[in-house]
Structure 1
Amino acid sequence: MEKRAPLKPLLFAFPGPLRDQLVAAVLAGAKVSTSCLLAEYEAEKEELPPVGERSALIDSDGREVAVVEVTDVRVTRLGDVGLRHVAEEGEGYTSVAEWRASHELFWHGEEMREALGDPDFTVDDDTMIVAERFRVVEVLGPLG
């Protein structure tokens, strides 16, 4: 087996059913895009990932399940997210409104507000998000 350098982890949501659903969508090829709050990067004092960066997709059990490569990163207003991005997230949303309602529930949740250090955090049309596209480079080991 070829040894590779350690990769930065790619974590969707928080461990649990939502992360499991998102990881499964990536592995199935349905999810090729994601979005997160720019405020998350700021809270973690992290820079945005550069195009070409590879990360290890992590499941709810903390296992590396795939290597993914960033193919595009852009910062945009939440109010400017379009249907193409929504569809590429691979979560089955058929409208921007449906996608946004689901994401607002997550972003306004207790875990996210705690992670951001702001118990009253809310989003609006002017909230900046990071829209990231990626591709699976390699699936790692047996799943399940």
Structure 2
Amino acid sequence: MTGLPALHERAGEPIPAAGDRFCVVDSDGEPAAVIEMTHVGIEPIGMVTDEYARAEGRGYRDAAAWRAAHEEFFRSDFVAEFLGAGPEIDDDTPVVTQRFRLVGRPATARRR
């Protein structure tokens, strides 16, 4: 999982920390999983590695493909509207990199 620090700031949410746990919801808004952050860092987007890109789990073949997709989102109308302006993106733009592990499924998660 990756985001811009400005998105957390604008939402009034702290940047997660290792050990924080979150409930992930499915597309219906139902609890689907509990995850625990194992690593959270802030690094320049230009330093994101191929290994991190692949580990994000969305099928990126390398850091270049990962970056193209993330820049497209970061430059989207949605993000610009949320932040009040579109962010400038260059190799030094900080991103929040996060790794997590699956802790389990909430007891209320629906079985399909």
User: Equivalences for 1:80-119 in 2 at 5 Å?
Assistant: 80-118=47-85
Residue 84 of structure 1, CA deviation: 1.3
Aligned residues: 110
Q: Deviation digits for residues 47-89 of structure 1, max 9, x if unmatched?
A: 2112111111022222111111011101000011111110110
Q: CA RMSD in A?
A: 1.4
C-alpha contact (below 8 Å) 1:65/1:143 kept by paired residues: no
Equivalent residue letter for 2:110: P
Q: Any idea what SS the aligned residue of 2:90 has?
A: coil
TM-score of the superposition, structure 2-length normalised? 0.89
- 2:26 is aligned with 1:59: yes
The one-letter amino acid paired with 2:104 is E
Calculate the TM-score normalised by the size of structure 1: 0.70
TM-fit CA distance, 1:35: 0.7
Q: Which has the higher contact order (CA 8 A, sep 6+)?
A: 2
Residue by residue over 1:77-136, the C-alpha shift from the partner in whole angstroms, topping out at 9 and shown as x without a partner, is: 001111111011011111211111111111111111112221x33321111100011011
Give the aligned partner of residue 42 of structure 2: 75
| Contact 2:24-2:31 at 8 Å conserved across structures | yes
Cα distance in 2, alignment partners of residues 68 and 143 from structure 1 = 18
Helix, strand or coil: the match of 2:96?
A: strand
Alignment equivalent of 1:133, drawn from 90, 99, 109: 99
Instruction: Identify the residue that residue 27 of structure 1 maps to in structure 2.
Output: none
Measured after TM superposition, the shift of residue 143 of structure 1 is: 4.6
Corresponding position of 1:142 = 110
> What's the % identity of the aligned pairs?
37
Q: Which amino acid aligns with 2:29?
A: G
What letter is aligned with 1:125? D
Cα pair 2:24 2:32 within 8 Å, conserved = yes
Unaligned segments of structure 2, at least 5 residues: none
